[in-house]
Amino acid sequence: MKSLLSPLVFALLAGPAFSQEKPNTERRIAELERRLEAMSRELETQKTGSAMPTAPEEGRFGLGPSASKVYAAPSGLSMGGYGEFLYEGKAGSLQDGTHVGTEKKADALRLVLYTGYKFSDRIVFNAEIEFEHGGYSDDHPEGEAVVEFAYLDFLLNKAFNLRAGQMLVPMGFINELHEPTAFLGARRPAVERAILPATWHENGVGIHGDLPGHLSYRLYLMNGLDASKFSASGIRDGRQAGKEANAQSLAWTGRLDWTPTPGLLLGASFYTGNSNQSGGGEAITTTLWDAHAEYRAHGFQIRGLYVRGSNGAAGLQVLDAADPAREAGTRQWGGYLEVGYDVLKGARQSLIPYLRYERLDTQQAVVAGVAKDPGKDRTLITAGLAFKPIPQVAVKADWARDENRARTGRDQFSLALGYTF
Protein backbone atom coordinates (compact mmCIF):
# COMPACT_ATOMS: atom_id res chain seq x y z
CA MET A 1 0.00 0.00 0.00
CA LYS A 2 2.94 2.26 0.70
CA SER A 3 3.79 2.26 -3.02
CA LEU A 4 0.29 3.64 -3.78
CA LEU A 5 0.36 6.31 -1.08
CA SER A 6 3.58 7.86 -2.36
CA PRO A 7 2.26 9.06 -5.74
CA LEU A 8 -1.08 10.04 -4.11
CA VAL A 9 0.60 12.26 -1.50
CA PHE A 10 2.81 13.74 -4.20
CA ALA A 11 -0.24 14.60 -6.30
CA LEU A 12 -2.02 16.28 -3.37
CA LEU A 13 1.03 18.27 -2.34
CA ALA A 14 1.46 19.44 -5.89
CA GLY A 15 -1.86 21.33 -5.68
CA PRO A 16 -0.53 24.44 -3.91
CA ALA A 17 2.41 24.56 -6.30
CA PHE A 18 0.04 24.77 -9.24
CA SER A 19 -1.96 27.54 -7.56
CA GLN A 20 1.16 29.68 -7.32
CA GLU A 21 1.83 29.42 -11.03
CA LYS A 22 0.06 31.30 -13.75
CA PRO A 23 -3.33 29.59 -14.13
CA ASN A 24 -3.28 27.01 -16.86
CA THR A 25 -6.34 24.82 -16.52
CA GLU A 26 -5.57 22.48 -19.43
CA ARG A 27 -2.05 21.78 -18.20
CA ARG A 28 -3.25 21.12 -14.65
CA ILE A 29 -5.94 18.73 -15.87
CA ALA A 30 -3.47 16.85 -18.12
CA GLU A 31 -1.00 16.51 -15.25
CA LEU A 32 -3.65 15.18 -12.86
CA GLU A 33 -4.86 12.69 -15.48
CA ARG A 34 -1.28 11.46 -15.98
CA ARG A 35 -0.83 10.90 -12.25
CA LEU A 36 -4.17 9.15 -11.88
CA GLU A 37 -3.26 6.84 -14.77
CA ALA A 38 0.10 6.05 -13.14
CA MET A 39 -1.63 5.21 -9.85
CA SER A 40 -4.14 3.04 -11.71
CA ARG A 41 -1.33 1.08 -13.37
CA GLU A 42 0.39 0.63 -10.01
CA LEU A 43 -2.83 -0.69 -8.45
CA GLU A 44 -3.38 -3.11 -11.34
CA THR A 45 0.20 -4.33 -11.04
CA GLN A 46 -0.27 -5.12 -7.37
CA LYS A 47 -3.55 -6.92 -8.04
CA THR A 48 -2.16 -9.14 -10.77
CA GLY A 49 1.33 -9.65 -9.43
CA SER A 50 2.77 -8.61 -12.77
CA ALA A 51 5.59 -6.46 -11.44
CA MET A 52 8.82 -6.72 -13.44
CA PRO A 53 12.30 -5.92 -12.21
CA THR A 54 13.13 -2.28 -13.00
CA ALA A 55 16.01 -3.23 -15.32
CA PRO A 56 14.86 -5.50 -18.19
CA GLU A 57 17.98 -7.70 -18.06
CA GLU A 58 18.03 -8.16 -14.28
CA GLY A 59 16.54 -11.19 -12.59
CA ARG A 60 16.66 -12.79 -9.17
CA PHE A 61 17.93 -16.05 -7.65
CA GLY A 62 19.72 -17.14 -10.84
CA LEU A 63 16.76 -16.58 -13.16
CA GLY A 64 15.92 -14.08 -15.90
CA PRO A 65 13.56 -11.12 -15.37
CA SER A 66 10.40 -12.87 -16.58
CA ALA A 67 11.26 -16.16 -14.90
CA SER A 68 11.69 -14.41 -11.55
CA LYS A 69 8.56 -12.23 -11.66
CA VAL A 70 6.87 -14.20 -8.89
CA TYR A 71 9.48 -13.04 -6.38
CA ALA A 72 8.55 -9.38 -7.00
CA ALA A 73 4.80 -10.02 -6.74
CA PRO A 74 3.19 -8.93 -3.45
CA SER A 75 1.33 -12.25 -3.18
CA GLY A 76 -0.71 -14.76 -5.15
CA LEU A 77 -0.47 -15.69 -8.83
CA SER A 78 2.17 -14.40 -11.23
CA MET A 79 2.42 -14.90 -15.01
CA GLY A 80 5.18 -14.27 -17.52
CA GLY A 81 6.76 -15.84 -20.54
CA TYR A 82 8.79 -15.54 -23.70
CA GLY A 83 8.84 -16.76 -27.27
CA GLU A 84 11.18 -17.22 -30.23
CA PHE A 85 10.66 -17.55 -33.97
CA LEU A 86 13.63 -18.66 -36.06
CA TYR A 87 14.42 -18.69 -39.78
CA GLU A 88 17.50 -20.67 -40.84
CA GLY A 89 19.10 -20.90 -44.24
CA LYS A 90 22.04 -23.27 -44.72
CA ALA A 91 24.52 -22.87 -47.55
CA GLY A 92 24.27 -25.18 -50.57
CA SER A 93 27.88 -26.37 -50.30
CA LEU A 94 29.93 -28.00 -47.58
CA GLN A 95 33.24 -26.68 -46.38
CA ASP A 96 35.12 -28.95 -48.82
CA GLY A 97 33.10 -27.65 -51.78
CA THR A 98 30.68 -30.59 -52.06
CA HIS A 99 27.32 -29.37 -53.34
CA VAL A 100 24.41 -30.57 -51.17
CA GLY A 101 21.73 -28.01 -51.97
CA THR A 102 20.41 -25.20 -49.83
CA GLU A 103 18.27 -25.91 -46.78
CA LYS A 104 15.78 -23.36 -45.47
CA LYS A 105 13.57 -23.69 -42.44
CA ALA A 106 11.11 -21.50 -40.51
CA ASP A 107 10.39 -22.63 -36.96
CA ALA A 108 8.06 -21.55 -34.16
CA LEU A 109 10.99 -22.42 -31.95
CA ARG A 110 9.62 -21.79 -28.48
CA LEU A 111 6.57 -20.56 -26.64
CA VAL A 112 7.16 -20.44 -22.90
CA LEU A 113 4.81 -19.63 -20.05
CA TYR A 114 6.05 -18.88 -16.55
CA THR A 115 3.58 -19.50 -13.76
CA GLY A 116 4.27 -18.85 -10.12
CA TYR A 117 2.46 -18.51 -6.85
CA LYS A 118 3.68 -16.55 -3.85
CA PHE A 119 2.12 -18.25 -0.84
CA SER A 120 3.96 -15.89 1.50
CA ASP A 121 7.19 -13.92 1.70
CA ARG A 122 8.86 -17.20 2.73
CA ILE A 123 7.36 -19.81 0.38
CA VAL A 124 7.25 -19.39 -3.41
CA PHE A 125 6.33 -21.79 -6.23
CA ASN A 126 7.79 -21.18 -9.69
CA ALA A 127 7.44 -23.07 -12.98
CA GLU A 128 8.31 -22.88 -16.67
CA ILE A 129 6.17 -24.68 -19.26
CA GLU A 130 7.64 -24.79 -22.74
CA PHE A 131 6.24 -25.69 -26.14
CA GLU A 132 8.96 -26.27 -28.74
CA HIS A 133 8.61 -26.40 -32.54
CA GLY A 134 4.90 -25.64 -32.44
CA GLY A 135 4.16 -28.12 -29.63
CA TYR A 136 3.55 -31.85 -29.65
CA SER A 137 0.96 -33.92 -31.47
CA ASP A 138 0.73 -37.46 -32.79
CA ASP A 139 1.04 -36.11 -36.33
CA HIS A 140 4.13 -34.02 -35.49
CA PRO A 141 6.17 -35.93 -32.90
CA GLU A 142 9.18 -33.68 -33.52
CA GLY A 143 7.46 -31.00 -31.40
CA GLU A 144 7.65 -30.97 -27.65
CA ALA A 145 5.75 -29.82 -24.58
CA VAL A 146 7.82 -29.98 -21.43
CA VAL A 147 8.09 -28.61 -17.90
CA GLU A 148 11.55 -27.03 -17.74
CA PHE A 149 11.37 -26.23 -14.06
CA ALA A 150 8.82 -26.51 -11.28
CA TYR A 151 10.10 -26.00 -7.77
CA LEU A 152 9.34 -24.61 -4.33
CA ASP A 153 11.61 -21.99 -2.79
CA PHE A 154 11.77 -21.67 0.99
CA LEU A 155 13.25 -18.21 1.53
CA LEU A 156 14.85 -18.23 4.96
CA ASN A 157 17.30 -15.35 4.74
CA LYS A 158 19.53 -13.59 2.24
CA ALA A 159 22.43 -16.03 2.66
CA PHE A 160 20.62 -19.37 2.97
CA ASN A 161 17.49 -20.58 1.17
CA LEU A 162 16.13 -24.03 0.31
CA ARG A 163 14.92 -25.09 -3.17
CA ALA A 164 13.34 -28.42 -4.15
CA GLY A 165 11.63 -29.85 -7.23
CA GLN A 166 12.61 -29.81 -10.88
CA MET A 167 15.41 -27.26 -11.29
CA LEU A 168 17.80 -25.83 -13.86
CA VAL A 169 21.40 -27.02 -13.58
CA PRO A 170 23.27 -23.80 -12.61
CA MET A 171 26.06 -23.96 -15.21
CA GLY A 172 27.21 -21.52 -17.88
CA PHE A 173 25.20 -18.49 -19.00
CA ILE A 174 22.37 -19.82 -21.14
CA ASN A 175 21.03 -22.67 -19.01
CA GLU A 176 19.49 -20.35 -16.42
CA LEU A 177 19.27 -17.09 -18.40
CA HIS A 178 17.86 -18.32 -21.70
CA GLU A 179 15.26 -15.67 -22.49
CA PRO A 180 15.94 -14.39 -26.04
CA THR A 181 16.47 -10.78 -24.94
CA ALA A 182 19.20 -11.86 -22.49
CA PHE A 183 21.75 -13.12 -25.04
CA LEU A 184 23.16 -12.04 -28.38
CA GLY A 185 22.75 -14.28 -31.41
CA ALA A 186 19.76 -15.66 -33.23
CA ARG A 187 20.75 -19.07 -31.85
CA ARG A 188 22.27 -20.02 -28.54
CA PRO A 189 26.05 -20.62 -28.60
CA ALA A 190 27.01 -24.10 -29.85
CA VAL A 191 29.26 -24.62 -26.81
CA GLU A 192 26.24 -24.23 -24.53
CA ARG A 193 24.27 -26.77 -26.54
CA ALA A 194 26.86 -29.48 -27.22
CA ILE A 195 29.22 -29.36 -24.20
CA LEU A 196 26.90 -27.71 -21.67
CA PRO A 197 23.58 -29.20 -22.83
CA ALA A 198 21.24 -26.24 -22.36
CA THR A 199 18.49 -26.29 -21.48
CA TRP A 200 19.36 -28.85 -18.76
CA HIS A 201 16.97 -29.52 -15.89
CA GLU A 202 16.66 -32.38 -13.42
CA ASN A 203 14.90 -33.25 -10.14
CA GLY A 204 16.63 -32.41 -6.90
CA VAL A 205 17.05 -30.34 -3.78
CA GLY A 206 19.54 -27.66 -2.87
CA ILE A 207 20.47 -24.36 -1.31
CA HIS A 208 21.15 -20.88 -2.69
CA GLY A 209 21.79 -17.38 -1.47
CA ASP A 210 23.86 -14.20 -1.49
CA LEU A 211 26.99 -13.88 0.63
CA PRO A 212 29.02 -10.87 1.82
CA GLY A 213 31.52 -9.53 -0.69
CA HIS A 214 29.07 -9.49 -3.63
CA LEU A 215 29.03 -13.29 -3.89
CA SER A 216 26.09 -15.51 -4.85
CA TYR A 217 25.92 -19.30 -4.88
CA ARG A 218 23.75 -22.32 -5.71
CA LEU A 219 24.44 -25.94 -4.67
CA TYR A 220 22.10 -28.80 -5.66
CA LEU A 221 21.88 -32.60 -5.34
CA MET A 222 20.04 -33.96 -8.40
CA ASN A 223 19.32 -37.13 -10.33
CA GLY A 224 22.26 -37.86 -12.64
CA LEU A 225 22.62 -38.19 -16.39
CA ASP A 226 21.88 -41.46 -18.22
CA ALA A 227 25.09 -42.57 -19.98
CA SER A 228 23.20 -45.12 -22.09
CA LYS A 229 22.07 -42.17 -24.23
CA PHE A 230 25.55 -40.67 -24.70
CA SER A 231 27.11 -40.55 -28.17
CA ALA A 232 29.98 -39.07 -30.15
CA SER A 233 27.99 -35.82 -30.20
CA GLY A 234 28.24 -35.54 -26.43
CA ILE A 235 26.15 -35.95 -23.29
CA ARG A 236 23.11 -33.95 -24.42
CA ASP A 237 20.82 -36.93 -24.99
CA GLY A 238 21.71 -38.22 -21.51
CA ARG A 239 19.55 -35.56 -19.87
CA GLN A 240 16.58 -37.14 -18.11
CA ALA A 241 14.60 -33.88 -17.79
CA GLY A 242 12.76 -35.04 -14.67
CA LYS A 243 10.58 -37.49 -16.60
CA GLU A 244 10.46 -40.72 -14.55
CA ALA A 245 14.18 -40.11 -14.09
CA ASN A 246 16.30 -43.11 -13.17
CA ALA A 247 17.96 -42.04 -9.90
CA GLN A 248 20.19 -45.03 -9.17
CA SER A 249 23.05 -42.53 -9.17
CA LEU A 250 22.86 -38.90 -8.07
CA ALA A 251 24.99 -35.90 -8.97
CA TRP A 252 26.21 -32.68 -7.36
CA THR A 253 26.18 -29.35 -9.16
CA GLY A 254 26.95 -25.85 -7.99
CA ARG A 255 27.89 -22.34 -8.93
CA LEU A 256 29.67 -19.33 -7.39
CA ASP A 257 29.48 -15.83 -8.91
CA TRP A 258 31.21 -12.61 -7.90
CA THR A 259 30.01 -9.16 -8.97
CA PRO A 260 32.65 -6.79 -7.57
CA THR A 261 31.12 -3.84 -9.40
CA PRO A 262 27.86 -3.30 -11.33
CA GLY A 263 28.18 -4.70 -14.84
CA LEU A 264 31.06 -7.09 -14.07
CA LEU A 265 30.51 -10.78 -13.30
CA LEU A 266 33.15 -13.46 -12.66
CA GLY A 267 32.24 -17.02 -11.76
CA ALA A 268 32.62 -20.76 -12.02
CA SER A 269 30.35 -23.80 -11.87
CA PHE A 270 30.62 -27.59 -11.75
CA TYR A 271 28.72 -30.87 -12.17
CA THR A 272 29.86 -34.34 -11.11
CA GLY A 273 28.11 -37.69 -10.76
CA ASN A 274 27.96 -41.31 -11.89
CA SER A 275 26.02 -41.48 -15.18
CA ASN A 276 25.67 -45.28 -15.07
CA GLN A 277 22.03 -45.64 -14.07
CA SER A 278 21.89 -49.43 -14.49
CA GLY A 279 22.46 -50.05 -10.79
CA GLY A 280 25.54 -52.20 -11.42
CA GLY A 281 28.74 -52.44 -13.42
CA GLU A 282 31.55 -49.95 -13.82
CA ALA A 283 30.90 -46.32 -12.89
CA ILE A 284 30.82 -43.73 -15.68
CA THR A 285 31.64 -40.58 -13.77
CA THR A 286 30.72 -37.45 -15.69
CA THR A 287 32.41 -34.25 -14.55
CA LEU A 288 32.00 -30.76 -16.01
CA TRP A 289 33.37 -27.43 -14.86
CA ASP A 290 33.30 -23.99 -16.39
CA ALA A 291 34.76 -20.54 -15.83
CA HIS A 292 32.73 -17.58 -17.08
CA ALA A 293 32.96 -13.80 -17.15
CA GLU A 294 30.81 -10.96 -18.39
CA TYR A 295 31.17 -7.18 -18.62
CA ARG A 296 28.36 -4.76 -19.47
CA ALA A 297 29.03 -1.01 -19.38
CA HIS A 298 29.18 2.07 -21.62
CA GLY A 299 27.35 0.21 -24.40
CA PHE A 300 29.76 -2.74 -24.42
CA GLN A 301 28.65 -6.35 -23.85
CA ILE A 302 31.53 -8.80 -23.49
CA ARG A 303 30.99 -12.43 -22.49
CA GLY A 304 33.43 -15.32 -22.28
CA LEU A 305 33.13 -18.95 -21.20
CA TYR A 306 35.46 -21.94 -21.03
CA VAL A 307 34.27 -25.46 -20.17
CA ARG A 308 35.89 -28.88 -19.83
CA GLY A 309 34.18 -32.24 -19.38
CA SER A 310 35.10 -35.89 -18.86
CA ASN A 311 33.41 -39.29 -18.80
CA GLY A 312 34.87 -42.27 -16.96
CA ALA A 313 37.04 -44.19 -19.45
CA ALA A 314 36.85 -47.46 -17.50
CA GLY A 315 33.05 -47.46 -17.64
CA LEU A 316 32.89 -46.61 -21.34
CA GLN A 317 35.58 -49.16 -22.25
CA VAL A 318 33.52 -52.14 -21.06
CA LEU A 319 30.45 -51.21 -23.12
CA ASP A 320 29.60 -53.27 -26.18
CA ALA A 321 31.60 -52.24 -29.25
CA ALA A 322 28.37 -51.47 -31.13
CA ASP A 323 26.98 -49.27 -28.34
CA PRO A 324 26.93 -45.58 -29.48
CA ALA A 325 27.57 -44.53 -25.88
CA ARG A 326 31.06 -46.04 -26.13
CA GLU A 327 31.94 -43.30 -28.63
CA ALA A 328 31.34 -40.53 -26.07
CA GLY A 329 34.42 -38.46 -25.44
CA THR A 330 36.37 -39.26 -22.31
CA ARG A 331 37.48 -35.64 -22.56
CA GLN A 332 35.48 -32.76 -24.04
CA TRP A 333 36.07 -29.04 -24.14
CA GLY A 334 34.71 -25.81 -25.53
CA GLY A 335 34.75 -22.08 -25.15
CA TYR A 336 33.65 -18.83 -26.72
CA LEU A 337 34.23 -15.10 -26.63
CA GLU A 338 31.43 -12.75 -27.61
CA VAL A 339 31.56 -8.97 -28.04
CA GLY A 340 28.74 -6.53 -28.79
CA TYR A 341 28.36 -2.75 -28.72
CA ASP A 342 25.12 -0.79 -28.46
CA VAL A 343 25.46 2.08 -30.90
CA LEU A 344 22.31 3.65 -29.40
CA LYS A 345 23.60 3.52 -25.82
CA GLY A 346 21.60 5.67 -23.45
CA ALA A 347 18.42 5.39 -25.51
CA ARG A 348 15.48 3.12 -24.72
CA GLN A 349 16.11 1.33 -28.01
CA SER A 350 19.21 -0.79 -28.68
CA LEU A 351 21.12 -1.59 -31.87
CA ILE A 352 23.93 -4.03 -31.16
CA PRO A 353 26.40 -5.37 -33.74
CA TYR A 354 28.07 -8.48 -32.30
CA LEU A 355 30.75 -11.02 -33.04
CA ARG A 356 31.23 -14.45 -31.43
CA TYR A 357 34.13 -16.89 -31.78
CA GLU A 358 33.66 -20.52 -30.62
CA ARG A 359 35.79 -23.65 -30.42
CA LEU A 360 34.57 -27.04 -29.22
CA ASP A 361 35.35 -30.74 -29.45
CA THR A 362 33.06 -33.43 -28.01
CA GLN A 363 35.69 -36.12 -28.70
CA GLN A 364 38.94 -34.58 -27.58
CA ALA A 365 39.85 -38.06 -26.26
CA VAL A 366 38.10 -41.44 -26.62
CA VAL A 367 38.60 -44.98 -25.31
CA ALA A 368 40.87 -47.43 -27.10
CA GLY A 369 39.25 -48.96 -30.19
CA VAL A 370 37.07 -45.92 -30.97
CA ALA A 371 38.01 -43.71 -33.92
CA LYS A 372 37.63 -40.00 -33.29
CA ASP A 373 35.23 -38.18 -35.62
CA PRO A 374 37.07 -35.07 -36.92
CA GLY A 375 33.67 -33.51 -37.59
CA LYS A 376 33.20 -33.06 -33.83
CA ASP A 377 36.17 -30.66 -33.65
CA ARG A 378 34.48 -27.41 -34.68
CA THR A 379 35.21 -23.71 -35.06
CA LEU A 380 32.37 -21.21 -35.45
CA ILE A 381 32.51 -17.49 -36.15
CA THR A 382 29.18 -15.67 -35.91
CA ALA A 383 28.63 -12.03 -36.89
CA GLY A 384 25.29 -10.33 -36.55
CA LEU A 385 23.06 -7.48 -35.48
CA ALA A 386 20.45 -7.29 -32.72
CA PHE A 387 17.78 -4.59 -32.58
CA LYS A 388 15.57 -3.99 -29.55
CA PRO A 389 12.78 -1.47 -30.23
CA ILE A 390 11.88 -1.91 -26.56
CA PRO A 391 13.87 -3.88 -23.95
CA GLN A 392 11.42 -6.81 -24.06
CA VAL A 393 11.56 -7.41 -27.84
CA ALA A 394 14.59 -8.42 -29.93
CA VAL A 395 15.09 -8.89 -33.67
CA LYS A 396 18.38 -10.62 -34.47
CA ALA A 397 20.11 -11.55 -37.72
CA ASP A 398 23.50 -13.24 -38.11
CA TRP A 399 25.79 -15.24 -40.36
CA ALA A 400 27.75 -18.17 -38.94
CA ARG A 401 30.88 -19.68 -40.46
CA ASP A 402 30.84 -23.32 -39.23
CA GLU A 403 34.01 -25.32 -39.92
CA ASN A 404 35.31 -28.67 -38.68
CA ARG A 405 38.32 -30.92 -39.25
CA ALA A 406 36.30 -33.25 -41.49
CA ARG A 407 35.55 -30.26 -43.75
CA THR A 408 31.82 -30.99 -43.67
CA GLY A 409 30.74 -27.71 -42.05
CA ARG A 410 28.06 -25.50 -43.62
CA ASP A 411 27.67 -21.75 -43.31
CA GLN A 412 24.31 -20.57 -42.05
CA PHE A 413 22.18 -17.43 -42.03
CA SER A 414 19.73 -17.05 -39.12
CA LEU A 415 16.98 -14.56 -38.39
CA ALA A 416 15.18 -14.55 -35.05
CA LEU A 417 12.33 -12.69 -33.41
CA GLY A 418 12.13 -12.94 -29.62
CA TYR A 419 10.02 -11.40 -26.87
CA THR A 420 9.60 -11.64 -23.13
CA PHE A 421 6.91 -10.43 -20.77
77 class by beta-carbon count within 10 Å (0-12 exposed, 13-18 middle, 19+ buried): middle
- Domains in the chain: ranges and CATH: 77-420 (2.40.160.10)
| pLDDT tens per residue, range 80-94 | 999 999 999 999 999
Indicate whether this model's pTM tops 0.75: yes
Is the pLDDT at 49 greater than 60, yes or no?
Answer: no
**Mean pLDDT, to the nearest integer, of 245-266?**
96
Ranking 21-25, 58-62, 258-262, 303-307 by mean pLDDT, the lowest is 21-25
**Mean pLDDT, to the nearest integer, of 30-52?**
51
| pLDDT tens per residue, range 204-245 | 999 999 999 999 999 999 999 999 999 999 999 999 998 999
